[in-house]
Structure 1
Amino acid sequence: MDPIVMQKLEKTGYKAIPIICGPTASGKTSLSIRAAKELRGEICCCDSMQIYRHLDVGTAKPTEEEKREVPHHLIDLVEPDQPFNVASYLDHAYEKIEELLSRNVLPVFCGGTGQYVQALQKGFDFSGAPVDREKEEALRLEFERDGIDGIYSRLIVLDPDCKEKIHPNNTKRVIHTLALLETVSGTTKDIREASTQNGPRYPFILFAIDWPREVLYQRIDLRVDIMMKDGILDEAEWLFKQDLPSDCTAMQAIGYKEFFPYLKGESSLETCVDLLKQHSRNYAKRQLTWFRHMDDVNWIPSDQLGEYKIDSFL
């Protein structure tokens, strides 16, 4: 690790930057707020949907009260129609880390987006694998003309693992990934491995919250009920009226797309709410799978959340 980085970090009183992760509705926000207070730090969000402005309830952004308790960063970065990816997140994250360390403040990362967490932990550098924008645009036009089936088939031929990781309905990601693979040789795994050669830019230590599966699912269902009272349907209607492309990332967000059939008059509200609960539970399962395959994660049993001391690891 760069001695200059360690010197900056040690001025905060600690030798590593914590990342608190885990599935949706697991209690990451409350734990990160408590940790930030104890560590005299500020929170950096690590969530691929909280970066969008206007989408607050459905992305479970920190409330105004929570932001008054501890400053939160890396939220509300772009409009819902603006492109944003892992590389964009790293640029913002590294800039914010430097700003906080310059004030002798410890960054406390919190979020459930596995790609963002892993990119920080591994120190991904995407500059060596640029996407050919002309190729990506050509694929987009092909999709508009002929549909996604042919494009998706070519993607699976180049990288069979993508069949398990990328759903054909996620057309934006299908097109981007195929453009990347047709620009550089190798699979997505090869590209990820090539991007980790420099190692992490900062020393991070990971914590993940572990709940019994059925209890977590109950928490998710309860959260959806609370979101309904807090106005998630109004946000979904606002997003729906923006008339964004269907493959826009914000339009694919869990918490909004489930209500579009209701807003079109094609489904009942009750059916859409049940679908949101199911999609959220499925997403939590995928998050847990992702984090369990990551290296060096300190798992926090849910029954120890109240007394768990993160500072003892730093």
Structure 2
Amino acid sequence: MGLEEVVTFLIPTLNERDGIGLIIDEIKSLGFNKIIVVDGNSTDGTAEIAKEKGAKVIYQQGKGKASAIMTGLKYVDTPYVAVIDGDYTYNPADVFKALKMMEDYDEVIVVRGNRKNIPLINRFGNWVITKMFNTLFGTRLKDVLSGFYALRTNEVKGVNFEAKGFSIEVAICAYLASQSKRIGEVIGDYRARKGVSKLKKIQGLKILFDTILLAAKFNPVFLIFLIGSVLLIPGIAILSYVALDYLAYHIFHFVLVFVGFSLFNVGLISLLLSVLALYLKRMEYRLNEKIEGLKRDV
């Protein structure tokens, strides 16, 4: 069975007339004919162009990129699915590098290697979100927000990722990481987009917030203790005030000392437990990763 028969390209679109035809032509020139375009009711003729180019066009259920991808996965009948944005920024030829790794991984992310085509503020936001994701989920990813990635279909088909909009990439990674599935990366090309970007600056903050919510779902113990550690701040503030008042005016506040020490101790214990919970989660992920690797070798 050739590669063209084992992978379906899934392209979520909304008003991408400038890029969709070009990306479909490139995919077909590589020998891939299973192409599903999930359109979010574009008004610029995107769906019509995709149909003319020979892609299967499906109109998504709901709104946003997350709904488009979850809608499209229902129609995938190949072992692998390659999700790629329809704005021409990604080079579909990089799918060959990703598919070479799919025997050992459940998701392979095509990392955006050419960062000059990403606005500086977006680069910073991607870095912050990826670092936070790695901290919360014990991964070592370089580009959790890449819009081009290959997935093992049976691992994601039918899953409700409970994500909205552009948080879908983070939600997929969070789901797979929490299931101790293996996530790999390859370096790919990243070109200047065709058309107008749909990603607004405020959406970066939403993705960051959604990452925290995903951590609450998949690693709640860590997040609970992390929130508890915030009590360190008022505890230190109160104890500092008591110490300064005593040194300056020789006034000792017994009640405030009790309150300050209580908050400080609860916060410190919570902080230590959050670190412990994080490392236990990382250890679980690494052990399961080793076990899965051994299973594949048998």
Give me the TM-score of the superposition, normalised by structure 2. 0.30
Pick 1 or 2: higher relative contact order, CA cutoff 8 A, min separation 6: 1
